Each structure stands twice: as C-alpha cells, then as structure tokens.
Chains A and B, each alone.
Chain A
Amino acid sequence: MSEAAAVETPEHGAAQADQLEPSLTPGNLGKLGMWIFLAGDAMTFGAGIAAYGALRINNPNWPTPADYLGITTTAVMTFILICSSVTMVESLDGVQHGNQSKFRMFMALTVLGGLAFLGMQAFEWHHLIAEKGMSIRRDLFDATFFILTGFHGCHVFGGVVYNSVLLIRGMMGKIPQAKAGLVEIAGLYWHFVDLVWILIFTFVYLI
C-alpha cells in the first residue's frame, strides 16, 4: 500500500505543481521579461528578413551574394558564435553548481568570442566598403546587407557589454549561486543573437 503510494506520488506531485504553480513569481519574472523582449526583437528581425526577401524576389537582377560576400570568413564567424553559445551554457552550468572559476572562465571566453565575431565583421565590412565599393546608398542589395548584418552586429555588441558586466560583477564576487538566474537571462539573449545569425547567414550569404 505504502509502496503504491510512493510510486504514484511523484506523478501526482508533478501534475499538481503544474496546475498550482503561479504564472508569475519573482523568480521567473526576469526570464519572462527577457522572453517577451526577444519575441519583440524577433519580430523586428523577421520584418527585416521578410522585407529583404520581398525586395529580392521582385528583382530579377539581384546579384549572387557569393560574387560580393566572402562565405569562408562568414562561416568562421558562424562557428565562433556557436562556440560562444557553448561557452555561455558552460558558464551558466558553473554558476548554477557554485563553481565560480568555471563561471568566470567560460564567461570570459564568451566575451572573447563576441569580440572575435565583431572584429571579423569589422574586417569584412572594411573589405566590402573599401575594396569592393559597397555602400548602404548604392542599391538594395548593399542596403539590405548592411542593415541586416549591422542590426545583428549591434546586438552582438550589446551582448558583449551585457556579458562583460556580468563577468566584472562575477569577478567582484557579486554573482553567487543564488543569483545564477542573472546569467541564465543573459544567456537567453546571447543564444538568441546566435540563432538570428544562423538565419541571416543562410538568407543573406548562402542563398
């Protein structure tokens, strides 16, 4: 009898928790807020990509991206961003398990990954503007390219600042295990930036 009850309890407990858990608690407000922000941000990126698609489909003279854009550099940038997402989750894992040195080391690597991405993007833009003569005013191909990658670059810059603040606060000992939620929320933003780049890489560079 008691064994049967013991077997049934976890399922009942989980079902009850699912029903009774309040939709908003101070513990998950930040995460919910970040998700709502990301949904809005996704709409902005979505509108940008949809406009790009509409302009491109309508224009029979749209150039092949590979004729102007370097795919190899961008593939490396994509790989760097994916790697920095992994370091971000490892950093979160560190702070959640009270391993501060792991948290700080992987957060520093995440910041470095973001900086490497930005450096490569600056290099790419310089090459395209100075050597290939591209300009945001020249035509729709150039304008959509600079707007989409530039808007994403601004997000990466914001993420680097955000992660740097967490790293500095972590080094000052102000992010204990109990405040791991702060790192999780920053992680949501950082992974979203990675996710958007995955789509931009395909739509702007590969297709």
Chain B
Amino acid sequence: MTTQAAVSAHEADHSGPNYIAVFIYLAILTAIELGVYSMGLPQIPKVGLLVALAWAKAVLVAMYFMHLAMERRALAIIAITPVLLVTFLCFMLLPDLTSRMWTRFDHRIEVRNPADMGASPVAPPAVRVPQH
C-alpha cells in the first residue's frame, strides 16, 4: 500500500518513474557484476552474488521499464507464474542430476570431417568376409 502510494505520488510529479535513475542503477549493477566477476572469488559465493545481481537487474527492468510496479496485480501474477514454474522445473531436474550421470563425458569430442582425411564423405559399410 505504501509502495503504491509512493508510486502514485511519484507519478503525479513526473507522470512516470524516473527512467534515468533506473538506468543509472542498472549501469551500476552491471559494473558491480563485472567487479565480482573479476575479483577471483571462490565459485559458490561468486555464483550466488552474480545470480542475485542479475535478478536485481531483471526485477528493476520488469518493475519500472515494464511498469509492473504501477500496473494492476493480475499482470504481476502473469509475470511471476513462469518464474515459479521454471523454479519448479529446476527442482524436477534435480533427481536426474544426482542419480543419472549420463552426461559425464569428456568435454571435447573430436569430430573429423571425412573430406579432410581424403576419404569419400559417406564411407561404405565395412564388408565382413566370412572366414573359412
């Protein structure tokens, strides 16, 4: 309620949010992200901080550039639904992550182009000669 009142008061002054201020916040958050990225932190705090900063920027864009802060609540519910569903989807993937490690294989798989090796692009199937 307080937020709505603040937004209404702000709207009365400027007929909309202060977009330049939002832009400055976004630029500062991007600079902080690059700072965190180059600080050489351990992986877990680095990932945590970067994800939090990214979500902060995303929320700023949605609330002020996409006007969710000033819109009716139904639109916010539409906007939040995919976020909740994707979070749920991530949890649905968890059993796959812990029990089936089928994706564990070496990073680089060399794919050779047959044309480079001097062979015909479609190699004939190997003929199996019966041994007598």
Given A58-B104, A192-B66, CB of A39 within 8 Å of CB of B81: yes
Contact B66 A198 (CB under 8 A): no
Tell me if B122 is interfacial: C-beta within 8 Å of chain A: no
Interface residues of A in 2-47 (CB under 8 A from B): 21, 23, 31-32, 35-36, 38-40, 42-43, 46-47
Complex formed: what's the CA distance from A165 to B86 in Å?
33
Interface residue SS majority, chain A: helix
Interface range on chain B (Cβ under 8 Å from partner): 35 or more
Complex formed: what's the CA distance from A90 to B18 in Å?
10
Nearest CB in chain A: distance from B113 CB, A = 11
Contact B107 A195 (CB under 8 A): no
Interface residues of A in 148-207 (CB under 8 A from B): 184, 187-188, 191-192, 194-195, 198-199, 201-203, 206-207
B86: chain A residues at CB < 8 Å are 42-43, 46-47, 49-50
Nearest CB in chain B: distance from A183 CB, A = 12
Report the nearest B residue to A97, measured CB to CB.
B15
B89: chain A residues at CB < 8 Å are 46-47, 50
- Please choose the segment from A112-120, A121-129, A136-144 that sits at the chain B interface, where 4 or more of its residues have CB less than 8 A away: A136-144
How many residues of chain A are within 8 Å of chain B by beta carbon?
A: 60
Interface residue SS majority, chain B: helix
Report the nearest A residue to B103, measured CB to CB.
A58
Please pick, from A83, A194, A207, the residue contacting B61 in the complex, using a CB distance under 8 A. Answer: A194
Contact B19 A90 (CB under 8 A): yes
Please pick, from B19, B37, B81, B106, the residue contacting A206 in the complex, using a CB distance under 8 A. Answer: B37
Complex formed: what's the CA distance from A35 to B66 in Å?
10
Which of A's residues lie within 8 Å of B, judged by CB?
21, 23, 31-32, 35-36, 38-40, 42-43, 46-47, 49-51, 53-55, 57-63, 71, 75, 78-79, 82-83, 85-86, 88-90, 93, 96-97, 135, 137-141, 184, 187-188, 191-192, 194-195, 198-199, 201-203, 206-207
